[in-house]
């Protein structure tokens, strides 16, 4: 029989993602609904190590569902990588009587949670919060939809100027070593080519295809590049293209951190609310070391250890669609 949780802590860790606030709100309010005491841990694992932990009430999370970023702040914490740091964190939680944790973050944060809950008797539930969508066991990660919509809006604007000047634009989007933002935003904006880390790119083929489009006077040429692609991101790709096609007016645009900010989309708010609620239910049911995810519209619980080991796959059909639609 699992111990009954009475006091839970919630934290946001690693890279921030729009919709994290909606998840925090859902955890706090669901916890309170079930009679739990809820604590907010500031700046990810740093707050656990440094004892920066505050009681949360229903009103603490008022007016945040629509806000990007995270009211709990987020950080990367070197001390938590060491056993001594994790021991300090555990002592702080123990002193407050916290007996369950909800971690909203990416695969690094889940790795930390997995190690921590193996060492100490505190169940950890992960909520996938990352714009990169690089976690297996869920169709959605909080923040991806907002980030990709921001990218689409920006690339649409670039298309207007590319069209006006007959320019070739190389556009770099975020995603670390995952190509989802590039794939989705590239297809949704009609990019000619999409370069992602999950697929090898034939540079010769890319150059001759761009030459061919130039010869056919295709109105707009846009290449969307994931920051983690094999060539090293947009600036490297732009340099290669400029070298090979010196007569083509080629411009580079790196979208950067605008993709992390902004008000979360309806989808991100919905999945954050559903996952936050489910994470508390998991703790009450005595689950531990799992990530809550949504697969085929149903809640899915994946061991943290498994969630960090595999990534969502990109099907070959998507790559075929890109090629056919850009012709
Ligand atoms: P994300 O969660 O966005 O992938 P990071 O990879 O930076 O972000 O991880 C966030 C934090 O999780 C790290 O700063 C560290 O404190 C903790 N962490 C990551 N990997 C481990 C690990 N193997 N052991 C312990 N803690 C870890």
Reported as a single tens digit per residue, the pLDDT across 165-175 is: 888 999 999 99
Question: 112, 133, 228, 291: which to mutate for ligand 1, most atoms within 8 A of CB?
Answer: 112
Q: Is 12 left (phi over 0), alpha (psi -120 to 50) or beta?
A: beta
Give the Å distance between the CA of 81 and the centre of ligand 1. Answer: 7
Give the separation between CA 327 and CA 322, rounded to whole angstroms: 9
Query: Mutual orientation of helices 180-188 and 316-325 as an angle, nearest 10°?
Result: 30
Question: What is the rounded average pLDDT of the residues 7-22?
Answer: 97
- Cα–Cα distance, 159 to 141 (Å, whole number): 28
Query: How high is the pLDDT of residue 74?
Result: 96
Give the C-alpha separation, 293 to 47, whole Å: 25
Residue with token string 């994290």: 20
Q: What is the pLDDT of residues 102-112, one digit of tens each?
A: 999 999 999 99
16-30, 64-78, 101-115, 301-315: least confident range: 301-315
Six token digits for residue 268: 């991100």
Q: Are 259 and 239 in contact (CB under 8 A)?
A: no
> pLDDT tens digits, residue range 201-255?
999 999 999 988 877 776 678 999 999 999 999 999 999 999 999 988 999 999 9
Residue 2, pLDDT score = 64
Higher pLDDT, 311 or 158: 158
Label the pairing between strands 290-295 and 298-303: antiparallel
Q: Contact, 166 vs 179, CB < 8 A?
A: no
Nearest CA owner, ligand 1 atom 26: 112
- Which token pair is 132? 């990169």
- Domains of the chain, first to last: 7-143+264-309 (3.40.50.450), 146-260 (3.40.50.460)
Please check the confidence at residue 14 and state whether its pLDDT lies above 80.
yes
Residue list, annotated binding site for Mg(2+): 107
Distances (CA, A) of 212 to 85, 209, 243, 256: 57, 5, 17, 30
- Over residues 82-93, the mean pLDDT reads 98
Question: Residue 45 CA: which ligand 1 atom is closest?
Answer: 16
């Amino acid at each position: 029989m699992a111990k009954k949780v009475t006091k839970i802590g919630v934290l946001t860790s690693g890279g921030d993602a729009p919709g994290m606030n909606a998840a925090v709100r859902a955890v706090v309010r669901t916890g309170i609904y079930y009679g739990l005491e809820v604590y907010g841990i500031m700046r990810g694992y740093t707050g656990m190590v440094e004892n920066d932990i505050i009681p949360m009430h229903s009103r603490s999370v008022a007016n945040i569902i629509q806000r990007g970023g995270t009211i709990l702040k987020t950080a990367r914490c070197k001390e938590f990588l060491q056993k001594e740091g994790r021991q300090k964190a555990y002592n702080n939680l123990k002193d407050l009587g916290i007996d369950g944790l909800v971690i909203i973050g990416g695969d690094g944060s889940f790795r930390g949670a997995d190690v921590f809950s193996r060492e100490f008797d505190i169940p950890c539930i992960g909520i996938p919060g990352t714009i990169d969508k690089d976690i297996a066991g869920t169709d959605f990660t909080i923040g991806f939809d907002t980030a990709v919509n921001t990218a689409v809006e920006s690339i649409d604007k670039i298309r207007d100027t590319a069209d006006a000047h007959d320019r070739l634009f190389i556009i770099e989007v975020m995603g670390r070593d995952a190509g989802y933002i590039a794939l989705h935003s590239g297809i949704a904006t009609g990019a000619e080519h999409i370069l992602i880390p999950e697929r090898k790119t034939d540079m010769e083929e890319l150059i001759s295809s761009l030459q061919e489009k130039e010869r056919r006077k295709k109105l707009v040429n846009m290449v969307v590049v994931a920051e983690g692609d094999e060539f090293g991101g947009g600036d490297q790709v732009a340099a290669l293209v400029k070298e090979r096609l010196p007569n083509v007016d080629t411009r580079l645009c790196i979208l950067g951190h605008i993709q992390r900010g902004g008000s979360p989309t309806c989808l991100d708010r919905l999945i954050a609310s559903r996952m936050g609620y489910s994470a508390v239910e998991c703790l009450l049911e005595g689950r531990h070391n799992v990530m809550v995810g949504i697969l085929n519209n149903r809640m899915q619980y994946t061991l943290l250890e498994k969630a960090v080991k595999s990534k969502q796959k990109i099907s070959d059909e998507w790559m075929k669609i890109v090629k056919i639609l850009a012709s």
